[in-house]
Chain A
Amino acid sequence: MAAEVTAPPLREYPGAPQALAPGAMAASKPYVATDKMQQALGFPGELADDWQEKALGKMGELLGKYRSLKVYLDSCVHCGACADKCHYFIGTQDPLNMPVARQDLMRSVYRRHFTLPGKLFPKLVGARELTKDVLDQWYTYYNQCSECRRCSVFCPYGIDTAEITMAAKEIMDSVGYGQKYSNEIIGKVHRIGNNLGLPGPALADTLAGLEEDVKEETGADVRFPLDEKGAEVLLVTPSADFFAEPHVDSLIGYAKVFHAAGIRWTLSTHASEAGNFGLFIGSYEQLRKLALRIREAALDLGVRRIVVGECGHAWRVAYSMWNTLAGIGAGGTDPFAKALQGRLDARYKQPMHICELTWDLIERGALTFDRAANDHRVVTFHDSCNVARASRMGDAPGGQFEIPRAIIRAVANRYVEMPKGTTREATFCCGGGGGLLTDELLDLRVKGALPRMEALQEVVDRGGVNFMATICAICKAQFTKVLPYYGFKMGMVGGVHQLVSTAIRLGSK
Chain B
Amino acid sequence: MTAATFIYALLLYAAAAVLAGGLAHRIYVYARTPAPLKIPTTPAPTTKGGVALRLLREVVLFESLFKSSLWTWACGWLFHAGLALVLVRHLRYFTEPVWGWVAWLQPFGAYAGFAMAAGLAGLGVRRMAVARVRYISTPSDHLMLALLLAIAVSGLAMKYVTHTDVVAVKAFCLGLLYLDWQPLPSGVLLYAHLALVALLMLVFPFSKLLHAPGVFFSPTRNQADDPREARHLSAWAARLEAHE
Contacts and interface: CB of A to CB of B under 8 A. Distances in A.
B214 interface: yes
Interface string A369-401: 000000000000000000011111000011011
State the main secondary structure of chain B at its contact with A. Answer: helix
A321 B136 contact: no
Given A98-B132, A124-B140, A74 B65 contact: no
Given A350-B228, A425-B42, A80 B69 contact: yes
B186 interface: no
A509 to B, nearest CB: 37
A19 B72 contact: no
A158 interface: yes
B243 to A, nearest CB: 11
A153 B42 CA distance: 8
A397 B42 contact: yes
Contacts of B76: 79, 156
Nearest to B228: A329
B220 interface: yes
Contacts of A160: 39, 41, 220
A173 interface: no
Given A284-B36, A329-B228, A79 B65 contact: yes
A319 interface: yes
Interface stretch (B7-15, B151-159, B232-240): B232-240
A68 B218 CA distance: 6
A124 B36 CA distance: 34
A457 to B, nearest CB: 24
B86 to A, nearest CB: 19
Contacts of A19: 131
A327 B214 contact: no
B131 A20 contact: yes
A68 B141 contact: no
Given A159-B218, A390-B41, A66 B33 contact: yes
Most buried by A among B26, B136, B244: B136
B194 interface: no
B227 A85 contact: no
Contacts of B241: 334, 336
B227 A321 contact: yes
Contact of A158 (B34, B41, B137): B41
B220 A158 contact: yes
A82 interface: yes
Contacts, number: 227
Contacts of B35: 66-68
A156 B58 contact: yes
B138 interface: yes
A351 interface: yes
Contacts of A319: 227-228
Interface stretch (B89-97, B176-184, B205-213): B205-213
B29 interface: yes
Contacts of A65: 33-34, 36, 236
B231 A327 contact: yes
A149 B58 CA distance: 18
What band does the interface of chain A fall in when counting residues whose beta carbon is under 8 Å from B? 35 or more
Given A152-B41, A156-B62, A98 B135 contact: yes
B228 to A, nearest CB: 5
B218 A324 contact: no
Interface string A142-169: 0000000100111111111001000000
Contact of B37 (A20, A77, A126, A320): A320
Contact of A78 (B26, B29, B138): B138
A32 interface: no
Contacts of A159: 218, 220
A66 B217 contact: no
Given A80-B136, A324-B237, A331 B33 contact: no
Most buried by A among B42, B72, B206: B42
Interface stretch (A115-123, A193-201, A211-219): A115-123
A123 B139 contact: yes
Given A70-B30, A77-B211, A157-B221, A115 B206 contact: yes
Nearest 6 A/B pairs, CB to CB: A75-B214, A126-B138, A397-B43, A154-B68, A158-B220, A80-B133
Given A20-B132, A124-B138, A154-B67, 4 more contacts: A104-B136, A117-B207, A158-B58, A397-B225
27 contacts: A64-B33, A65-B236, A66-B33, A66-B36, A72-B218, A74-B214, A76-B211, A78-B141, A80-B72, A80-B132, A83-B133, A95-B136, A124-B140, A124-B143, A149-B220, A157-B218, A157-B221, A158-B64, A160-B39, A284-B36, A284-B237, A324-B232, A324-B233, A329-B229, A333-B231, A334-B233, A401-B43
